[in-house]
A and B are shown apart, each in its own frame.
Chain A
């Protein structure tokens, strides 16, 4: 399959579906609060560009701040776990419990802790919880992934604990860390939106709030415009991190 076809095929499918949707709306005369035609969604997007851009930025910023906080905490704890088996054993069930508890169930608790005046804090904290696990488990497996024969060589050469950590364990973990962060990026966006919904207040002013607000006013076109922005943002972020991961791997192993 050549490049042009592979780029055009999904675009053609989207165009086809949109055309069918537009035609169906016009023929059936379905009320626009129930299903607005794509043309109206585009108009809504045009009318609310500034507001949607600002909201997208808020969601994006909350996701990225959470990602950064999750990355630092997860890597620090994973490092301690890699150096101390007892600590790793102690942390494991807690990390798993945090991972399997649906974030939406934690939301009310976090809201109480953050206080009614700081909805953003609650959203960020919840998103950190969501993004923590993939980074943590990636870092723990990565720090353990060093080639056992290479470990033996480090023994043979009389490497110190510090040398072993910085020259062997951490470099070996790089591909796992990249993968963990890539997964966490996607999850942090999901987490930010879910947390914003759960917070249920306009204090965070992200895309989820735009969707809730438009839904409450039966402005379905605006709601879909916000969804569209969210999907595009998620796709862009995913692609960006995929490219970054590939670049970093090429740098790491030379091809």
Chain B
């Protein structure tokens, strides 16, 4: 594990008025440059945990620590969440524009970020003209353009087909290797979690608490054919078992 902490939840609980406990008590720590996956059944509070780490929401009880300052955290949602009236380049430049970065510089950095996700040619296209996978790449470029210290992904590939999803997972790991942000990755998909993360945390369902933790011992980005290796298979089994236990708790 890395020594410095990028973000952490300490004995955090979240109650929503009228809905009761949504999350916790839960404690988790994300090291600088670490990739952590949160896996769990729907309604276990994964997205709530992510919003806490982003600072978009406060806990009812407990402490949230975030090392990243303003503008150093990025979020990617399940949908691309692009502004339909802006071109791909303008969408990517948006966080810089809002932070008051000079227009020309914002444009050129947006262009680079688009190139990094393989969309250098699509800078003038509007979201409606892009495929689902391309729109997700634009969303990723927008998240990376600020060179964040913490990158939070809320089921980012859930709406994509398997081939696009795998290509994006590899691209994301390559991009990670360049900037080394801490990544917290929420997903339903056990294989995707193991493929992406160095640590997989399983959450139990409603209210979400930690149900298990599995370290994945393999280099990142993943070597070719990693999905067929023994460590991958073992990790998948371990995480699946933890998940089964977590689900049983709910039923």
B76-97 interface with A by 8 A CB criterion: 77, 79, 81, 83-87, 94-95, 97
How far is the CB of A159 from the nearest CB of chain B, in Å? 5
- Using Cβ atoms and an 8 Å threshold, which residues of chain A touch B127? 253-254
Q: Is the CB of B81 within 8 A of A153?
A: yes
**Chain A 164-191 interface 0/1 with B at a Cβ cutoff of 8 Å (1 = within):** 0001100110100000000000000000
Contact B75 A156 (CB under 8 A): yes
- The number of residue pairs between A and B whose CB atoms lie closer than 8 Å in the complex comes to 59
> In the docked arrangement, what's the CA distance between A157 and B75, Å?
10
Q: Is B56 an interface residue (CB 8 A)?
A: yes
B100 CB to nearest chain A CB (Å): 10
Contact in complex: B81, A254 (CB < 8 Å): no
B241 within 8 A of A: no
Q: Looking at B55, B94, B97, which has the most chain A CB atoms within 10 Å of its CB?
A: B94
> Contact: B85 with A174, CB < 8 Å?
yes
The answer to whether residues A163 and B129 also contact, given A153-B75, A156-B75, A174-B85 and a CB cut-off of 8 A, is: no
A253 vs B129: C-alpha distance when bound (angstroms): 8
A154 to B71, CA, bound (A): 11
- Asked if B71 and A254 sit within 8 Å, CB to CB, the answer is no
Known: A157-B71, A157-B98, A252-B85. A149 touches B77 (CB 8 A): yes
Q: Which residues of B contact A158 (CB under 8 A)?
A: 70-71, 98-99
Whether B81 and A156, one on each chain, are in contact in the complex, defined by CB atoms closer than 8 angstroms, is no
Task: Scan A32-72; emit 1 where CB is below 8 A from any B CB, else 0.
Answer: 00000000000000000000000000000000000000000
Q: B99, A254: Cβ atoms under 8 Å?
A: no
B70, closest chain A residue (CB): A158
Interface members, chain B 95-121 (any A CB < 8 Å): 95, 97-99
Residue ID in chain A nearest B81 by CB atoms: A149
Within the complex, the shortest CB–CB distance from B48 to chain A, in Å, comes to 13
> Of residues 190 to 248 in A, which have CB atoms within 8 Å of B's CB atoms?
none
Judged by a CB distance under 8 angstroms, whether A150 is at the interface is: yes
Q: Across the interface, name the chain A residue whose C-beta is closest to B130.
A: A254
Majority SS of interface residues in chain A? helix
A: contact size bracket: 20 to 34
- CB-CB < 8 A to A255: which residues of B? 126, 128-129
Q: Check if B73 is an interface residue, CB within 8 A of chain A.
A: yes
Q: Is the CB of A159 within 8 A of B129?
A: no
Q: Which of B73, B75, B129 has the most CB of A within 10 A?
A: B75
B125 interface residue, CB < 8 Å from A? yes
Residues of B within 8 A of A154 (CB): 98
Q: Tell me which residues across on chain B come within 8 A of A167, comparing CB atoms.
A: 94, 97-98
Q: Are B85 and A253 in contact (CB under 8 A)?
A: yes
- Contact in complex: B81, A253 (CB < 8 Å): no
| Nearest CB in chain B: distance from A151 CB, A | 10
Q: Of the candidates A150, A156, A174, which one forms a contact with B56 in the assembled complex, judged by CB atoms under 8 Å apart?
A: A156
Q: Nearest chain A CB to B123's CB is how many angstroms away?
A: 13
CB-nearest residue of chain A to B97 = A167
- B81 surroundings in chain A (CB, below 8 A): 147, 149-150, 153
B54 on interface, CB distance cutoff 8 Å: yes
19 contacts between A and B (CB under 8 A): A149-B79, A149-B81, A150-B81, A152-B51, A153-B94, A153-B95, A155-B56, A156-B55, A156-B73, A157-B94, A157-B95, A157-B98, A157-B99, A158-B98, A163-B98, A172-B85, A252-B85, A254-B128, A255-B129
The 3 closest A-B pairs by CB, nearest first: A254-B126, A149-B81, A157-B98
Binding site for B on A (CB under 8 A): 147, 149-150, 152-159, 163, 167-168, 171-172, 174, 252-255
Q: Which residues of B come within 8 Å of A, CB atoms?
A: 51, 54-56, 70-71, 73-75, 77, 79, 81, 83-87, 94-95, 97-99, 125-129
